[in-house]
Every structure is written in C-alpha cells, then in structure tokens.
C-alpha cells in the first residue's frame, strides 16, 4: 500500500480547488516564491543570506530581492533530502510539491511523495506484540514511510473505538488528521472534528510501530495540495541516527496530551493503557 484510501463517504477535493506551483525550474521549489511553500512559517535565522543553506535569486519582474529557502530539507551534501534540524525539532507541517505542480519529479521538494526507500522488517517483540525495525542504518532527518490506512469520518472513528472497547481489543490503530483543525478556519472541512486514518484493516508496515516515551521517530503532517490539508499525510522521520536492528518507535501522544497528569491520578489509572516501552523516561501509560 502506497497511500491511504478514502472511505466511500469522503469526497475527493474538486478539481477546480487544486493548485500547484508554476516554478520555472526545480531549483526554485526550495524558495518561498514557490506557492507550495507559501504557508511555511518565516524563520529567517535558519536561512541567513551567505549561510550554507541560504541563497539569493534574481526576480526579473520586481528587481533584486531575497528569496529565502523555505523547503524542509537539506539541499547539499550527504544529508540531501533529510529534514533540517530546526524542522525536525519542531512540530511544524511539511509542505511539498505534488501532482498539480509544473515542476518535474526531480524537484527536491518531493521526498515523502516518493515513498519509502528503507527496508523494514516486522518482528515479534517480547512484550508488545509486533514491532518494526530496519535492516539498514537510518540517519537523523531521514524519511522512513507514511502511516497509512482507511480515511474515515470522526463519527465512524468513534464508532470503531467504541466497538473495540466492547470487544476488549487492546490494539488501537486510529490517527486523527487534526494538524490544521481550527474552529475559525474558512475551510469548513477544517472546522469540524477531523477525519481519522484507521490502519487496522488496511495499512503498511508502519501500523506495527510501537510507542516509546523516548522514541527515535516523529510523525510530521505532510501537505501536498493546499486544498487537501484536511487529509494531510502522516510522515515518519528519524529524530536521531538509528542503527540497523534497533526497534523503531514514536511517541503516540508526542507531548500534546494530559495523560501524564492522569497517570498520577489513581482514579484514572484503571482506564489507561500501561506503557511497556522500558525507557528511563517512561511515563508509565500510553494514554
């Protein structure tokens, strides 16, 4: 499976709302003049002119002006195509070029779109069911794969959650696509409860990645077409060098949950899932 699939009741975005960049050369897709990068937060400190990653272009119609590099990846040397450290340390979305763009498939702003390049192995862990590891070393900032599944409504996700509770099934594979959720958004699809990805019945190997309170991966929201923010991708990147064979893990709640507080409340502990990650930083519970 290379991409998530929409459930029958999730309409695709109408063609007239799809927009891509019109950059003359692939190189331009690294700069803030590329419309795909128009929503990237300005962070001048990371791209200062004259720095190894900074650059200046000529804009013929408006005279000289600076074009800041805004794309998420390293553009030179052995780390080409790996996420820059500042992006990696952030929880900001990643914007990439896509099908509606005029740039070529060699555009440097198409990393997640090209899919997994790393061989993954599913293996039986001692105490957490199946887990995932790579048979090759992975570098900090390297893209691993996407989390894929069936894209379903919040209502259907809640129905499945309730069902799984009744069935006493312990494994949960639901992921909310809530990175751009905003009650004040002009896009009604971003105002309501977010769509969710369910990896239980259809997915790829990443559905087997376990949680750790001290993880080696992080999930980033990756956007192709800006009209599809409500169905953004979930892209795994390594947040440190990972030697081959080490179990791949990410933080299921990534610091945005109050489960740490709940874990100290004995009344709530009985409803929480105990964490078996075994790290020194273990918070005791998954959620």
Ligand X SMILES: C[S@@+](CC[C@H](N)C(=O)[O-])C[C@H]1O[C@@H](n2cnc3c(N)ncnc32)[C@H](O)[C@@H]1O
Q: How far is the CB of 46 from ligand X (least distance, A)?
A: 33
Among 98, 110, 207, 226, binds ligand X (CB under 6 A): 207
Options 55, 57, 172, 272; binder of ligand X; rule CB under 6 A: 172
267 vs 197: CA distance, rounded Å? 30
276 lies in the site for ligand X, by CB under 6 A: yes
Is 147 one of the catalytic residues? yes
Q: Least separation, in Å, of the C-beta of 106 and ligand X? A: 34
User: How many residues in the shown chain lie near ligand X by CB under 6 A?
Assistant: 16
Q: Which of 47, 73, 173, 252 is catalytic?
A: 252
Q: Applying CB under 6 A, does 129 fall inside the site for ligand X?
A: yes
Q: Are 106 and 196 in contact (CB under 8 A)?
A: no
CB of 137 vs ligand X, minimal distance in Å: 23
Closer residue to ligand X (CB): 66 or 130: 130
To ligand X, the closest distance from the beta carbon of 111 in angstroms equals: 24
The answer to whether residue 142 forms part of the interface with ligand X (CB under 6 A) is: no
Token representation of residue 66: 């600076």
* Site for ligand X contains 59 (CB under 6 A): no
DSSP secondary structure letters along the chain: --S-EE-TTSPPPPGGG------SSGGGGGBTTSGGGTTSPP-GGGS-TTSTT---EEETTTEEE---B-SSBB-SGGGBTSBPHHHHHS---EE---TT-SS-TT-TT-SGGG---S-EEEEE-SSSSEEEEESS-B-TT-EEEE---EEE-HHHHHHHHHHHHHTT-----EEE--TT--TT-SSHHHHSSPPEEE-SSS--GGGGPEE-SS-SEEEEEEESSGGGGGG-EEEEEESS-B-TTSBPEE-SSTT-SSHHHHHT-HHHHTTSPBP----TT--SB--
| 252 is known as an active-site residue | yes
128 binds ligand X, rule: CB under 6 A: yes
If one asks whether residue 173 binds ligand X (CB under 6 A), the answer comes out as: yes
208 binds ligand X (CB under 6 A): yes
CA 264 to chain centre: 30
Among the listed residues 97, 105, 99, 132, the one whose alpha carbon sits nearest the alpha carbon of residue 118 = 132
Minimum Å distance from CB 202 to ligand X? 14
Task: Verify binding: residue 130, ligand X, rule CB under 6 A.
Answer: yes
Stretch that binds ligand X, among 30-38, 108-116, 233-241, 274-282 (CB under 6 A): 274-282
User: CB of residue 168 vs ligand X: minimum separation in angstroms?
Assistant: 12
Active-site choice (31, 71, 73, 147)? 147
Given a contact cutoff of 8 angstroms between Cβ atoms, the answer to whether 236 and 246 are in contact is: no
94 vs 277 by CB, closer to ligand X: 277
Give whichever of 110 and 218 is closer to ligand X, judged by the CB atom.
Answer: 218
Task: List the one residue from 14, 170, 270, 280 that touches ligand X (CB under 6 A).
Answer: 170
> Can residue 160 be called a binding residue for ligand X (CB under 6 A)?
no
Active site residues: 147, 252
Residues that bind ligand X (CB under 6 A): 128-130, 170-173, 207-208, 210-212, 275-277, 286
């Amino acid at each position: 499976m290379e991409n998530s699939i929409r459930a029958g009741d999730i309409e695709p975005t109408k063609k007239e709302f799809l927009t891509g960049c019109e950059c003359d050369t692939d190189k331009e897709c690294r700069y803030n003049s590329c419309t795909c990068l128009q929503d990237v937060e300005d962070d001048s400190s990371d791209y200062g002119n004259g720095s190894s990653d900074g650059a200046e272009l000529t804009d013929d119609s408006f005279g000289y002006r600076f074009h800041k590099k805004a794309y998420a990846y390293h553009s030179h040397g052995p780390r080409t195509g790996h996420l820059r450290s500042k992006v990696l340390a952030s929880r900001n979305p990643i914007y990439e070029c896509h099908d509606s763009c005029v740039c070529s498939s060699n555009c440097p702003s198409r990393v997640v779109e090209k899919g997994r390049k790393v061989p993954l192995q599913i293996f039986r862990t001692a105490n957490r069911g199946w887990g995932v590891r790579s048979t090759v070393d992975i570098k900090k900032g390297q893209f691993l794969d996407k989390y894929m599944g069936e894209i379903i409504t919040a209502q259907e996700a809640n129905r499945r959650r309730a069902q799984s509770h009744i069935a006493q099934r312990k494994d949960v594979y639901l992921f909310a696509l809530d990175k751009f959720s905003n009650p004040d958004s002009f896009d009604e699809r971003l105002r309501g409860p977010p769509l969710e990805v369910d990896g239980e019945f259809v997915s790829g190997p990443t559905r087997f990645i376990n949680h750790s309170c001290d993880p080696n991966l992080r999930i980033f929201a990756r956007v192709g077409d800006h009209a599809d923010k409500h169905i953004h991708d979930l892209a795994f990147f390594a947040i440190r060098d990972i030697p081959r064979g080490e179990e791949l893990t990410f933080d299921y709640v990534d610091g945005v949950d109050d489960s740490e507080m709940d874990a100290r409340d004995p009344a709530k502990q009985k409803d929480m899932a105990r964490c078996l990650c075994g790290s020194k930083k273990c918070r005791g519970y998954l959620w």
